[in-house]
Amino acid sequence: MSKNEQHWEKTRGLLFVTLAIWFVFSIGIFLFGAEMNEVTGPFGYPLTYWFTCQGSLGLFVILIFWFANRQEKIDEEFGFSEKGER
């Protein structure tokens, strides 16, 4: 397998992991919205309500930064990262 193919394989792996986490917090949990809302979540808000107004949103922010860092590592590993640029 060429270097490009290996790089792409890892990149695709990261994509699937990232999208799986994304799926859980944007779609998955809201399948059980009514049940989860009975539970008290962070800061005392009902749990589903908290996810829709803070939890999922904040998690997406962290997820994107995590993804960007992981992808940079993959690019560096194969010597594919950009040089001499900010």
Partner 1 sequence: MIKGNFVDNLPKIYGIYTGGFIGFIILMAIGEQMGMTSKTIGICFVSFTVFIYALIGWLSRTAQASNYYVAGRQVPTVFNGMATAADWMSGASFVAMAGGIYFKGYGYMALLVGWTGGYVLVATLLAPYLRKFGCYTVPDFVGTRYGGNLARLLAVIVLTVASFTYVTAQINATGTIASVALDIPFQYAVYVGLISILLCSMLGGMRGVTWTQVAQYIVLIIAYLLPVFWISNSIGAGFFPHFMLADEVARIGELEQQYGFVKNAAADLKTVPKGLAGITKAHSAVNATPWAFISLALAMMMGTASLPHVMMRFFTTPSVKAARKSVGWSLFFIFLLYSSAPMLATLSKLALIDPNLPTGIIGKSVAEVQAIDWYQNWNQANLMFISDFNGNGTVELNEFFMAGKAVVLATPEVAGLPYVISGLVAAGGMAAAMSTADGLILAIANAISHDVYYKMIDPRAETAKRLLVARVLLVVIGFAGATIAAMEIQGILGSVIWAFDFAMSGLFFPLVLGVWWKRANRQGAIAGMALGLASSIWYLVWVRTGGSGFLGITQLTFGIFGSFVSLVSMVVVSLMTPAPNASTQKMVDDARVPAGAQVMTQK
Q: Which residues bind partner 1 (CB under 8 A)?
A: 4, 7-8, 11, 15, 18-19, 22, 25-27, 30-34, 37, 43-46, 48-49, 52-54, 56-58, 60-61, 63-65, 67-68, 71-72, 75, 79-83, 85-86
User: At its nearest, how many Å lie between partner 1 and the CB of residue 1?
Assistant: 14
CA distance 66 to 51: 20
User: At its nearest, how many Å lie between partner 1 and the CB of residue 21?
Assistant: 8
Cα 7–Cα 13–Cα 19 angle in degrees, nearest 5: 135
CA distance 78 to 57: 32
Which amino acid does the sequence have at 51?
F
User: At its nearest, how many Å lie between partner 1 and the CB of residue 76?
Assistant: 10
1 vs 33, beta carbon nearer partner 1: 33
Look up residue 53 and give its two tokens.
């107004």
